[in-house]
Amino acid sequence: MSKTVPPTALCGARRPGWETGPAIGINRIPCVQDAGHDGDHVNAFGQSWPHTPKLATALLTLADKLATLRPSAAITERLVLAQALVIAVQLLGPGDAAEDAERDLLALLPAVTGQTRGQYAEELRDAAREVTR
C-alpha cells in the first residue's frame, strides 16, 4: 500500500521585472523550491537568480519601466508617485500590504531634481542596491 505525501508549498517567486503576466517564456517561470527556502531561487529549467527583497524588486521594476520607455525624457514627481503605487499593487495586490509597501517604497525614492527618466532609473538601481545590503 502506497502512502500519499501531501504536496509541499512552492516558493513561486519570479525574476525581478517578470513578476506579472502569465508564466510564458523562460524568464517568467517561477521558483520551484520549497516556500521559505534559503539561498537563490531556481526555476524548472535550473536557472537561478538571487533572492531580492520586495522593496528592492519594486525599485528595480520602476527603474526598468522608466529606462525602457523614453529614457531621455524628463522625469516628473507625479509620474514617479503614480508608478510607485502601480508597482506596489502589482507586487502585493490591493489592500493594506500594498499601502504599507507603497509607504516604504516612497521613503526610498530619490528626489526628483530635473533628471531624465534614464538617469532617475540609475538612481533607483543604486537605492535597490542599498536595500539589499
Amino acid at 69: L
Q: Is the pLDDT of residue 57 over 90?
A: no
Give the domain ranges of the chain.
7-51, 54-132
Q: Is the pLDDT of residue 52 over 80?
A: no
H/E segment holding residue 56: helix 54-68
Top-confidence residue, 27 or 23: 27
Q: Is the pLDDT of residue 7 over 70?
A: no
Residues 27-48 have a mean pLDDT of 88
Determine the angle formed by the axes of helices 54-68 and 117-132, rounding to 10 degrees: 160
End-to-end CA distance of the chain: 51
The span from the CA of 67 to the CA of 63, in Å, is 6
Its pTM surpasses 0.75: no
Lowest-confidence region among 63-77, 89-103, 114-128: 89-103
Q: How confident is the prediction for the chain on average, in pLDDT?
A: 85
pLDDT of residue 6: 55
Asked if residue 116 lies in contact with residue 75, where contact means CB atoms within 8 angstroms, the answer is yes
The span from the CA of 11 to the CA of 47, in Å, is 15
Among positive and negative, which fits the CA dihedral 72, 73, 75, 81?
A: negative
Residues 104-123 have a mean pLDDT of 94
Q: Is the pLDDT of residue 71 over 80?
A: yes
Asked if residue 21 lies in contact with residue 28, where contact means CB atoms within 8 angstroms, the answer is yes
pLDDT of residue 9: 86
Phi then psi for 48, rounded to 5 degrees? -125, 155
Cβ-based neighbours of 120, under 8 Å, separated by 6 or more: 63, 66, 75, 80, 110, 112
Residues 56-78 have a mean pLDDT of 93
Amino acid at 32: V
Q: Is the pLDDT of residue 5 over 60?
A: no
Residues 26-37 have a mean pLDDT of 86
